[in-house]
Chain A
Amino acid sequence: LAKTTQPISMDSYEGQEVNITCSHNNIATNDYITWYQQFPSQGPRFIIQGYKTKVTNEVASLFIPADRKSSTLSLPRVSLSDTAVYYCLVGDWSKSTFGDGTTLTVKP
């Protein structure tokens, strides 16, 4: 399995930028990095995906260094509704695991 390591939890305040880093030392050449968001009692939802350098969409940015052994999800100006669990996945779905994710709590 493509193992990933994330912080268990993070706290932030409304309006701040939040960066969540994921380590994936055994990433394979063809693997992409995908981040999902999960609210309580709901299924995970796709946020962003990348292979290298930087990817940005309307929700987040994903920064991937040249060695691709880690990645950072950046959420600009978070709000209370961004409180959720964030998962980093690497590689084919049959070989990757969601792990326990990072619980982000946004405070007023």
Chain B
Amino acid sequence: DADVTQTPRNRITKTGKRIMLECSQTKGHDRMYWYRQDPGLGLQLIYYSFDVKDINKGEISDGYSVSRQAQAKFSLSLESAIPNQTALYFCATSMGRASTDTQYFGPGTRLTVL
């Protein structure tokens, strides 16, 4: 969805480096999410944010941190990247928290940690 953008789209880095993935949205949604997807598997929730002041851990938050700089921006950081963090990372947004609220996904960031 073009309303949700992610930068960079591809990144190759080395073990131990700090990496930041950025997500921006123009949908005006309060909730934002970061997911990780390993090859052939489903998406795993890393962190989610209800609003600028509310950030919550998902299933697999260890090794990751996030920052919600504004309603429209949600960044994911890997403080010290390791090879098993090589994956496809998706940002998503939704208007609210109800299960009726559709999630809108960005195009993804392919991260490779050597």
Q: Which residues of A contact B (CB under 8 A)?
A: 1, 30-32, 34, 36, 41-46, 49, 85, 87, 89-94, 96-101
Complex: how many Å from CA A85 to CA B88? Answer: 15
What distance in Å separates the Cβ of A3 from its nearest Cβ neighbour in chain B?
A: 12
Q: A44, A90, A99 — which one has the most chain B CB atoms within 10 A of its CB?
A: A44
- Contact indicator B94/A93 (Cβ below 8 Å): yes
Give the distance in Å from the alpha carbon of A100 to the alpha carbon of B41 in the complex: 5
Residue from the list A42, A87, A92, A94 in contact with B42, Cβ < 8 A:
A87
B58: shortest Cβ distance to chain A, in Å?
8
Smallest beta-carbon distance A25→chain B, Å: 17
Q: Does B90 count as interface, using CB distance less than 8 angstroms?
A: yes
With a CB–CB cut-off of 8 A, which chain B residues contact A42? 105, 107-108
Q: Do A44 and B97 touch across chains, with their CB atoms under 8 A apart?
A: no
Query: A32 touching B90 by the CB < 8 A rule?
Result: no
A90 with B1: CB separation less than 8 A: no
State the CA gap A36–B101 with chains docked (Å): 13
Binding site for A on B (CB under 8 A): 1, 4, 31, 33, 35, 40-45, 48, 56, 58-59, 88, 90, 92, 94, 97-108, 110
Is B102 within 8 A of A94, CB to CB? no
Q: Which residue of B lies closest to A45 (CB)?
A: B105
B44, B88, B101, B106: the one contacting A93 at CB < 8 Å is B101
Question: Most chain-A CB neighbours within 10 Å: which of B43, B48, B88, B92?
Answer: B43
Whether A93 lies near B100 (C-beta < 8 A) is no
State the CA gap A97–B84 with chains docked (Å): 21
Are A31 and B99 touching (Cβ within 8 A)?
yes
Residues of A within 8 A of B33 (CB): 93
Contact of A43 among B59, B90, B97 (CB under 8 A): B90
Question: When the two chains form their complex, are residues A43 and B106 in contact, meaning their CB atoms are under 8 A apart?
Answer: yes
